[in-house]
């Protein structure tokens, strides 16, 4: 496919978004009875966000045209989409994942402008039980040969996205082979793919989001803004129990992260990419969607009070 221009939106409008995972949407059918994808878009738009990440393929529309129309109906821009890949699982698995990547890229390319396709590794057995492990359990670290294969797979995916004219970013993620600070540094040192800095996943992976921004801020082109309570992270780390970000996500300003300092650091860099608020929930979390709608309104107020430089 010939490349086309899908650069981020002009910076006159603050690029502030939310994402379906905030409402517990992990797949195309992760909504309670009576709740529809249109309701999510309406809540995001009503709160005042300017964009939304697309979530699972097909969630906001059966095809690219329907997805574009759905977001345009609510005056929302595309803030990008997340794609997990398995570059170490064999060529057949990777080809399956790359087919999904191409489908997502085709949707993103249908928007006049869009946030990035956000690449990440898939969950790895064993790692999910050792969140914030640091240099413990070196047997979970990739070998040099595996690092070469992993980076090559992500680079292949980035080239595919570039062929659609789509910006690309890489998301270190708990439960995957790139979550600990030394893994993030190893990956970014081995390629030129930009970085999605997720404050929650950074902290749960044992990093300091501010220090990660200091080390790799020149590569950051996308931000997931989360606040987390660290007690569930520490418990999971100490006891070797499975950890998911929904176990620790809280409203902005109510967790243990220095998000005020993080926002000041973004301002010092004059960061102009998307800031996507995510407050992860499980699909079966028993949450009230009306309460989530209102909480995301408050989250946006929190961000706007600290993101004046983006206006």
User: Checking DSSP bridges between strand 220-225 and strand 274-277, what pairing results, if any?
Assistant: parallel
CB 143 within 8 A of CB 130: no
More confident position, 2 or 264 = 264
Residue 237 CB: number of other CB atoms within 10 A? Answer: 20
Q: Which pair of tokens denotes residue 125?
A: 């057995």
CA distance 174 to 129: 10
User: What pLDDT band is residue 29 in, cutting at 50, 70 and 90?
Assistant: low
- Predicted TM-score of the model (pTM): 0.94
Position with higher pLDDT, 34 vs 192: 192
Domains and CATH numbers, the chain: 16-310 (3.20.20.150)
pLDDT of residue 148: 98
Pairing relationship of beta strands 77-78 and 51-52 according to DSSP bridges: parallel
Instruction: Find the farthest-apart pair of alpha carbons in the chain and give their distance in angstroms, rounded.
Output: 51
The model's pLDDT over 212-230, given as tens digits with 9 standing for 90+, comes to 999 999 999 999 999 999 9
Confidence at residue 168, expressed as pLDDT on a 0 to 100 scale: 98
What does the pLDDT look like over 270-299, one tens digit per residue? 999 999 999 999 887 778 889 999 999 999
Region 133-137: mean pLDDT is 84
Does 244 score more than 60 pLDDT? Answer: yes
Q: Tokens in use for 307?
A: 């993101």
Reported as a single tens digit per residue, the pLDDT across 178-196 is 999 999 999 999 999 999 9
């Amino acid at each position: 496919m010939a490349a086309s221009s899908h650069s981020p939106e002009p910076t006159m409008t603050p690029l502030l978004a939310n994402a379906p995972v905030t409402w517990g949407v992990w797949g195309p059918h992760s909504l309670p009875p009576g709740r529809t994808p249109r309701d999510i878009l309406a809540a995001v738009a009503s709160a005042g966000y300017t964009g939304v990440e697309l979530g699972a393929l097909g969630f906001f529309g059966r095809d690219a045209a329907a997805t574009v129309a759905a977001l345009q109906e609510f005056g929302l821009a595309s803030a990008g989409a997340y794609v997990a890949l398995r570059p170490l699982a064999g060529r057949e698995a990777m080809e399956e994942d790359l087919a999904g990547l191409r489908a997502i890229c085709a949707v993103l390319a249908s928007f006049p402008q869009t946030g990035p396709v956000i690449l990440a590794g898939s969950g790895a057995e064993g790692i999910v039980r050792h969140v914030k492990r640091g240099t413990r359990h070196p047997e979970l670290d990739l070998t040099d040969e595996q690092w070469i294969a992993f980076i090559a797979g992500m680079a292949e995916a980035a080239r595919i996205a570039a062929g659609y004219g789509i910006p690309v970013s890489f998301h270190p993620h708990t439960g995957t082979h790139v979550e600990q600070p030394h893994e993030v540094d190893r990956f970014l040192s081995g390629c030129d793919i930009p970085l999605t800095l997720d404050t929650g996943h950074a902290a749960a992976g044992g990093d300091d989001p501010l220090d990660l921004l200091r080390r790799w801020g020149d590569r950051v082109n996308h931000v997931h803004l989360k606040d987390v309570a660290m007690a569930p992270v520490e418990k999971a780390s100490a006891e070797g129990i499975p950890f998911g970000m929904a176990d620790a996500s809280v409203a902005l300003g109510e967790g243990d992260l220095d998000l005020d300092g993080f926002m000041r650091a973004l301002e010092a860099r004059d960061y102009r990419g998307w800031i996507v608020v995510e407050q992860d929930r499980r699909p079966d979390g028993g949450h009230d969607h009306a309460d989530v709608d209102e909480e995301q309104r408050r989250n946006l107020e929190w961000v706007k009070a600290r993101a004046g430089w983006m206006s």
